[in-house]
Structure formats: C-alpha cells, structure tokens
C-alpha cells in the first residue's frame, strides 16, 4: 500500500536543502525504493518494467531516425534506404526501432493477459486497468502510423484500407464517411500529405503514451500491486521493499527479454515485417494480400469475419472497447484464476481464440478461413459478454489463503503445513 511511512533521510547538505524545497528524492525513495511490493510476485509481473524500457527505447531510436528521415512521398522510401545503407549504424537504429515495436506489443500482450488471468482489473484497480487500455489504444495508433512511414507497398495499402474503413459511416449518414476519410487523408486519396501528417502524429503520440504511463504508475502506486494469489498486501510480512527485491528480479527478467529482442534485431530483422514493404509505394498496383503487422492480425480477422463493412468496423473497435468494461463484466469476487477452477479453463480458451484469430487474420478472407474467423469472433465476444458474467455466478472458488505471507510460507515449508494439517 502506498500509505507507508517514508524512511528517506537525505544524507548530504544539498539533499537536505533540496528536501525542504522540492522533495523529488523523497518521492522517488518512497515510490521506487521503499515501496512495498507483494513478496509472491512471479515473473509475469516484470513486464511493466520491460514495457517502460521499450517505450523509452522507441523514443530514443525514433528521435535518431527522425534526424535522417524525410516525410515526403517522393523521398520517404529512399531516405529509409539511405538510413540503412549510408548512415553510420543506421541499419541498427532502424532494426531496433522496427523490431522494438514488435517486442513492445509482445510485452504488452503478456502484460494484458497477466492482468486478465490474475484479475488485476478488479476493485480497486478499475481506473488503473482503464488507463492501461487507453495506453494500448494509443500504442496501436502510434504503431499503425509508424508502419506507414517507410512508404513501401504494404505501408501505402495498409493506410488506404484502414482509413477507408471510416467510409462505412456513409451507410448511417450519407457523405459522413467520405467526409471523414478525406479529412484524414488531406485530399481525395492517400498521398504525401497523408504521410506528412501521420509522421507528425507518430512523433506526438509516444509522448501521450508517456503521460498515460505516468498516470498508470501513479494509479498503481495508490492501490498497490495485485499478486498471483489475488490478495492485497495487508501486513509488512506480505511485502518486500521494491528495491532491491523487485528491482533485481526485474533487471534479470529484462535481460532475458533483451536476448529475444537482440535475436530478432541481429538475425531476423525482417522476419516480423512484410517483403512487400521493400517495394516502393505504388498507388496503381495493389498487392495480392494486404495484411497488417502481426500484432493487428486478430482485429483484422474480426473486421473481415463480418459480412457488413459497417458492422465489421464496429466489431473491430468493440473488440478493444469491451476491455474497458471487463472490471464490471466479471462478476466473480475472487481475483486470481488460481482459485477459480472454471475461469482458468475459459481463460486459456480465450488465449487460444486470440491466437486463432491472429492466424486467420494472416490468411486470405475466403472459404473456411472466414467461417472459422466467424466462430472465433463470436467466442471472443462471448467470453466477455457471456462467460465472464455467468462464471462469477455459477463457479465455486477454491478456498483463499488468509494472506500472502501464509500462501508463501506454507509453500516454502510443506513440513510445517503437513504437521498443522495432522494436528487438525
């Protein structure tokens, strides 16, 4: 809990002087050194730190790339190639940034599924969760606009397809969709004007994410972290100070993740991208299969699963919007799936559904692929709208331990536990 007594004592004269005027050191110490973290956090709780690192890394590599990039339809593709070929270590900066985006999403998905498994969205963490969903939405917008910048075939056609989605609003108000699309494009088709504004927004949005991350961490430090048992920290014995316990664990986990990152940067820099994006944008040639980056595939599958364009667009946005309501859709009073024998299975069925939608999103929208995309789209929404509300009512949760420390100590000392059980 945040309401813990600060043990901060400034050691230097400057520190004491500063502490009376702007106590930055005191705040940092109480929030990131002393801060009580549940002692039973597993490695899935290290992804918050990993995500913070990737946000900073993307901003740093992005600023360097922006020094060499030209947001101009005639020059964009060539300038990226010049970065790869002629800028010192430009190939490295570009790989770090492009692969970094994928790693950012991978970490974000693990982080989100962690929250869903351990019920991290339940009271009093609703606002924390909602801010997280907003970060995810802005992240997706940033990534989408960033992918347009190399101005290759896939960039161009992804922008064309996705911005055109808004034209479906024409079926509600005649001309509304077209108006919005032309406003987004800054013209009557996707041109260099569109590219230029996407570049501007791509530079702006990461700072919006950074501000939201600040709020996310603030909200987290007000309510405290959830834990694998779903129990809050109640006594000092339930927690360890953030430093050096959580920090040492976070550092180790981050380096394991960086190994994966480096593997892609140095050995598979193009694996996560699409070959068509090495062909300069050509408005007259449509690629045979227009597919988004891997992290958008499930939503793309949902979009194409629905025969009506308007309802496809609505379903795609709703698939993310529904996350905002999860704190109230889940009726169970128990947080952690560890103590929810039924939810545990449905959670994994949901994970499978998301992976299946991702696979189907990468395939052409024809035949059985569409049929299965429909089945999984229905289940995707059923999970949130039917399964989560019902499970809380019919499920009998397992007995919760009295506290985090009890859960930890009985695990550490099975002999004590067995002896206690015998006595009983």
Partner 1 sequence: MKRPAAISHTAMALVILLAFAAAGTAQAAGDGEAPHIKRYDWPFAGLAGQYNTQQLQRGFQVYQQVCAACHSLNRVRFRNLTEPGGPQFPVEAVKALAASWPYTIAKKFDTEGKLIERLPTMADPVIGPYKSEEEAREAQNDRVPPDLSLITSARSVENHAPWYLHVPQMAWDIVTGYQEGGADYLTALLTSFKDEPPAGFEVSEGLYYNAVFPGHQLGMPPPLSKDNFIEYQEDAGAKGSFEQNARDVTAFLYWSADPNLDARKRLGWQVLVYLLITTVLLYAVKKHIWGRLKAKPSETESA
Check residue 232 for interaction with partner 1 (CB under 8 A). no
Instruction: Give least dist CB 51 to partner 1, A.
Output: 18
Tokens of residue 40, six digits: 């039973």
Check residue 244 for interaction with partner 1 (CB under 8 A). yes
Interface residue with partner 1, options 4, 26, 68, 84 (CB under 8 A): 84
Interface residue with partner 1, options 123, 262, 378, 419 (CB under 8 A): 262
175 or 414: CB nearest partner 1: 414
Residue 336: which of 19, 76, 44 has the closest Cα?
44
Instruction: Give least dist CB 240 to partner 1, A.
Output: 6
Instruction: Give least dist CB 285 to partner 1, A.
Output: 11
Residue 119: which of 283, 272, 343, 294 has the closest Cα?
343
Tokens of residue 225, six digits: 């972290």
Region 92-121 residues binding partner 1, contact defined as CB under 8 A:
92, 95
Residue 362 and residue 298: Cα distance in Å, rounded? 9
Interface residue with partner 1, options 40, 163, 239, 332 (CB under 8 A): 239
Instruction: Tell me how crowded residue 191 is: count the other CB atoms within 10 A of its CB.
Output: 14
20 or 366: CB nearest partner 1: 366
Residue 373 and residue 415: Cα distance in Å, rounded? 51
The site map against partner 1 for 16-45 (x = CB under 8 A) is -----------------------x------
Spell out the alpha helix ranges (H) of 224-366.
247-267, 297-305, 309-321, 326-329, 341-361
Residues 6+ apart with CB under 8 A from 85: 91
Residue 219 and residue 124: Cα distance in Å, rounded? 10
Residue 293: which of 145, 117, 72 has the closest Cα?
145
Instruction: Give least dist CB 236 to partner 1, A.
Output: 5
Dihedral sign of CA atoms 24, 28, 29, 31 in order: positive
Interface residue with partner 1, options 6, 183, 234, 270 (CB under 8 A): 270
Instruction: Give least dist CB 95 to partner 1, A.
Output: 8
Interface residue with partner 1, options 123, 251, 378, 420 (CB under 8 A): 251
Tokens of residue 406, six digits: 């009890």
Number of residues that bind partner 1 (CB under 8 A): 58
Check residue 237 for interaction with partner 1 (CB under 8 A). yes
Length of the chain: 424
Check residue 12 for interaction with partner 1 (CB under 8 A). no
Asked if residues 242 and 37 have their Cβ atoms less than 8 Å apart, the reply is: yes
Instruction: Give least dist CB 292 to partner 1, A.
Output: 16
Instruction: Give least dist CB 346 to partner 1, A.
Output: 6
Interface residue with partner 1, options 14, 17, 328, 345 (CB under 8 A): 345
Strand partners, 267: none
Stretch that binds partner 1, among 65-73, 192-200, 317-325, 351-359 (CB under 8 A): 351-359
**Strand intervals (E) in 158-296:** 239-241
Stretch that binds partner 1, among 13-21, 77-85, 133-141, 295-303 (CB under 8 A): 77-85
First to last CA, the chain: 34
Stretch that binds partner 1, among 123-131, 140-148, 209-217, 340-348 (CB under 8 A): 340-348
SS3 content of the chain, % helix, strand, coil (to 5): 70, 0, 25
Region 363-422 residues binding partner 1, contact defined as CB under 8 A:
366-369, 371-372, 375, 395-396, 409, 412
Asked if residues 302 and 357 have their Cβ atoms less than 8 Å apart, the reply is: yes
Interface residue with partner 1, options 339, 346, 380, 384 (CB under 8 A): 346
Instruction: Tell me how crowded residue 36 is: count the other CB atoms within 10 A of its CB.
Output: 20
Check residue 207 for interaction with partner 1 (CB under 8 A). no
Instruction: Give least dist CB 186 to partner 1, A.
Output: 27
Instruction: Tell me how crowded residue 308 is: count the other CB atoms within 10 A of its CB.
Output: 11
Q: Which residue ranges make up the site for partner 1 (CB under 8 A)?
A: 39, 81, 84-85, 91-92, 95, 236-237, 239-241, 244-245, 248-249, 251-252, 255-256, 258-259, 262-263, 265-271, 274-276, 278-279, 288, 341-342, 344-346, 348-349, 352, 356, 359, 366-369, 371-372, 375, 395-396, 409, 412
């Amino acid at each position: 809990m945040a309401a813990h007594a600060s043990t901060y004592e400034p050691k230097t004269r400057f520190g004491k002087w500063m502490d009376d005027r702007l106590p930055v050191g005191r705040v940092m110490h109480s929030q990131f050194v002393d801060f009580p973290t549940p002692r039973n956090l597993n490695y899935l709780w290290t992804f918050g730190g990993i995500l913070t690192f990737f946000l900073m890394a993307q901003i740093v590599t992005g600023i360097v790339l922006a020094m060499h990039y030209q947001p101009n339809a005639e020059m964009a593709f060539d300038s990226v190639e010049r970065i790869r070929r002629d800028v010192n270590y430009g190939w490295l900066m570009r790989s770090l940034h492009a692969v970094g985006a994928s790693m950012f999403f991978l970490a974000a998905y693990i982080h989100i599924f962690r929250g869903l498994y351990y019920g991290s969205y339940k009271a009093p963490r609703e606002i924390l969760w909602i801010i997280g969903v907003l970060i995810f939405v802005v992240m997706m917008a940033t990534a989408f606009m960033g992918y347009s910048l190399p101005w290759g075939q896939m960039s161009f056609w992804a922008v064309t397809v996705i911005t055109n989605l808004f034209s479906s609003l024409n079926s509600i108000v005649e001309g509304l969709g077209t108006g919005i699309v032309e406003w987004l494009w800054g013209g009557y088709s996707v041109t260099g004007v569109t590219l230029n504004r996407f570049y501007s927004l791509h530079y702006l949005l990461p700072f919006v994410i950074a501000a939201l991350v600040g709020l996310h961490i603030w909200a987290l430090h007000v309510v405290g972290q959830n834990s694998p048992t779903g129990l809050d920290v109640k006594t000092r014995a339930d927690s360890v100070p953030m430093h050096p316990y959580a920090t040492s664990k976070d550092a180790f986990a981050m380096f394991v993740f960086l190994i994966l990152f480096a593997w892609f940067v140095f050995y598979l820099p193009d694996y996560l991208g699409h070959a068509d994006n090495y062909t300069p944008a050509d408005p007259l040639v449509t690629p045979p299969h227009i597919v988004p980056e891997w992290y958008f595939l499930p939503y793309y599958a949902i979009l194409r699963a629905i025969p009506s364009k308007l309802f496809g667009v609505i379903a795609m946005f709703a698939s993310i919007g529904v996350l905002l309501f999860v704190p109230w859709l889940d009726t169970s009073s128990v947080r952690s799936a560890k103590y929810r024998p039924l939810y545990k299975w449905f959670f994994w069925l949901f994970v499978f559904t998301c992976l299946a939608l991702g696979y189907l999103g990468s395939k052409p929208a024809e035949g059985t692929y569409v049929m299965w995309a429909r089945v999984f789209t229905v289940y995707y929404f059923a999970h949130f709208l039917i399964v989560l509300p019902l499970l809380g009512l019919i499920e009998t949760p397992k007995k919760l331990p009295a506290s985090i420390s009890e859960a930890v100590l009985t695990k550490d000392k099975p002999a004590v536990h067995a002896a206690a059980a015998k006595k009983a």
